[in-house]
Amino acid sequence: MGEFILQAIFEVALDPWAIALCIIGVIIGTILGALPGISSTMALAVLMPFTFGMSIENAMVFLLAVFASSVYGGSISAILINIPGTPGSIVTQLDGYPMARKGRAGEALTYALIASTVGGLLGWIALVLVAPLIASAALSFQSPEYAAITVFGLAMLAYVSPGSTFLAVIAGVVGVLIATVGFDATTDVSRFTFGQPALQAGLGIVPAAVGIFGLAEVFKSIESGGERVEAVKKLGRIFPPWAEAKKLWPMQLRGSMIGAFVGAVPAAGSAIAVTVSYAIEKRLSRNPERFGQGSPEGVVAPESANTAAVGGSLIPMITLGIPGDTMTAVLIGALLIHGLRPGPMMFTQNMDFVAAIYVALAMAIVFTLLVCLIGNKYFARILSMPRAVLLSGVTLLCIIGSYAVRNSMFDVLVMTAFGVLGYAMNRINIPTAPVIFGLVLGPILETNIRRTMIVYNDWGVFLERPITLTILILSVVAVLFPLIQDARNKKRQPAQATSSAHPTDQS
């Protein structure tokens, strides 16, 4: 492993073009992450097409730079305008904005940046240490285990999705169904093409992801006019007092561990990591009443968890081929476009690429620190970018991105259709991420189920193998537990017109 990392350092970290791509990715990612309405997932989805002409290693350098920097970028708007730029910054605003209102905006941004760097590096260490262990265990998995793992990935997403678990399950099933459009890989028979040649290659993940995560957000943004935001303009001193900063290290370390662990749980994502981290720090604090009033602890804890979750979420992605969150779902789409399917086999057949991912992530974290230390005061001005330019530019990027996959205008129509679907689902509180997870995991699930039956010719094998059975039981629990809990909670509440138990109620 060490020799591969050394090789990757020479080929990636010391390559001027890779360094330039990393810096460009950090700048673009930070800007997009800072802009409210553009999440890290959307940033990755619309920028992914830029990588089509690159080598897979450079593509990862660029995308991981965007990934890591956009995660931090969300804290810029959270601190300066009290609007989280990304879902992972929803907690940072609780203390970051009050700090900014007290004239400590610069310090808050720097605290967030340092915490983000510490979290990112600890998440990276978790990735480097844990991924090989999981991969080596996964190498002994066979098709029943892989099928069970994909079911677990879908079940976990249903469990952690905001809102109703029932609706998330439906969305996942729809995604799995959509993934069956086109030629069946095993028998070459076409499914649901209705005689249309354009559908024979299926509905690609890239147009779907760009539509659901990109275009749907544009639709939401243009519903009504823009809103005037009151931004804290004066940053004040940039570097916080050392006496205060050195007391925050334990919070950063704890937040990083929480972020790396939660991020490694398939589908969990950074929003859960930051919430848990904040709650724990508040509980452990000697002055919990300071949280929410501009306490630096309330900034560093969630920010370190937020970026640590980046490394954590890459663990299931590269070891099992299961997205750790929606962002890694988009990364899997990028890998597939470049002809690489993530999973444990990468650790035997593409170890050099795995090492390149490690080096690329480290570069992303380091360059985010360097670029943002210098550029924070300039990035802050980005918040006043005209909405008109931003939305029209992002829409064009969505068009080009979906066209560029197969040089087909049909994919632009597919992207538009998924944009409409994503927008409609958002309007009626149905989570959209499960659709993409279903698109990514559906083919893996089908391949492994059919392979299992061809080899074993016995459905009971899913219940006879202990690992498979355990994973399936956990999957069932992940789906049923919130439904049962929600029904119990509703029964305890006084009977009112709007509080009766319903599968679509938020749990």
Partner 1 sequence: MLQAPILNPRGCAVDTKNGNRLWAHAVSGAVLTVLAVVLWMHLMSDPALTRPRGRDPGPAFQPAISLVLMGVFGLFLAVASFWRMRREGGASGEGFAVQARAELKRLALPAVMVLSLVLFVLLVPFVGFLLASIVFTTGWAVFLALQDYAMVGRRGVIVGAIGALLSAGFLYVMFRLVIGIPL
Residues lying near partner 1 in the complex (CB under 8 A): 49-50, 52-53, 166-167, 169-170, 173-174, 176-177, 180, 184, 186-187, 189, 191-192, 194, 218-220, 222-226, 228, 386-389, 391-393, 395-397, 399-400, 403-404, 407, 409, 412-413, 416, 419-420, 423, 427-430, 442, 445-446, 449-450, 453-454, 457, 496-498, 500, 502-504
Specify the amino acid at residue 185: A
Q: Which is nearer to partner 1, 139 or 501 (CB)?
A: 501
**How far is Cα 61 from Cα 362, in angstroms, rounded to an integer?**
10
Is-contact 340 353, C-beta < 8 A?
Answer: yes
- In the complex, minimum distance from the CB of residue 351 to partner 1, in angstroms, rounded to a whole number: 28
Q: Hey, what amino acid is at 367?
A: F
- Which of residues 178 and 265 has its CB atom nearest to partner 1 in the complex? 178
**Angle between the N-to-C axes of helices 351-379 and 16-34, in degrees from 0 to 180, rounded to the nearest 10:** 50
Closest contact distance (angstroms) between CB of 507 and partner 1 is 15
Rounded to a whole number, what is the largest CA-CA distance in the chain?
70
Backbone angles phi, psi at 191, to 5 degrees: -125, 135
Task: Select 278 or 403, whichever has its Cβ closest to partner 1.
Answer: 403
Is the Cβ of residue 48 or residue 113 nearer to partner 1 in the bound state? Answer: 48
Structural tokens at position 353: 């690429």
Query: In the bound complex, what is the minimum distance in angstroms from residue 267's beta carbon to partner 1?
Result: 19
Q: What is the rounded CA–CA span in Å between residue 340 and residue 491?
A: 49
Residue 266: both structure tokens together: 């398939």
**Which tokens go with 347?**
């650790």
For the CB of residue 14, give the shortest distance to partner 1 in the complex, in Å.
23
Q: Confirm if 48 and 39 have CB atoms less than 8 A apart.
A: no
Dist CA 277 CA 295 (whole Å): 14
Q: Which is nearer to partner 1, 174 or 279 (CB)?
A: 174
Element (H, E) at 91: none
Burial of 246 (0-12, 13-18, 19+ CB in 10 A): exposed
Quick one: 222 or 340, whose CB is closer to partner 1?
A: 222
Tell me how far, at minimum, the Cβ of 370 lies from partner 1, in Å. Answer: 25
CB of 182 to partner 1, least distance (A): 11
CA atoms within 13 A on the CB side of 228: 1
Determine which helix (DSSP H) or strand (DSSP E) holds 310, and give its type and residue range.
helix 297-320
Contact yes or no for 418/153 (Cβ under 8 A)? no
Rank residues 128 and 167 by Cβ distance to partner 1 and give the closer one: 167
User: Smallest gap, in angstroms, from Cβ of residue 41 to partner 1?
Assistant: 20
CA distances from residue 447 to 181, 184, 240 in whole angstroms, order as listed: 14, 10, 54
Amino acid at 314: L
Q: Which is nearer to partner 1, 225 or 241 (CB)?
A: 225
Beta carbon of residue 32, minimum distance to partner 1 (angstroms, whole number) = 14
Q: Rounded to the nearest whole angstrom, what is the least distance from the CB of residue 201 to partner 1 in the complex?
A: 16
Nearer to partner 1, 142 or 180 (CB): 180
Instruction: Kindly tell me which of 28 and 76 has the beta carbon lying closer to partner 1.
Output: 28
**Using CA atoms, how far apart are residues 504 and 507, in angstroms rounded to an integer?**
9
Cβ–Cβ < 8 Å for 334, 149: no
* DSSP 8-class letter at 428: T
Q: How far is the CB of 260 from partner 1 (least distance, A)?
A: 34
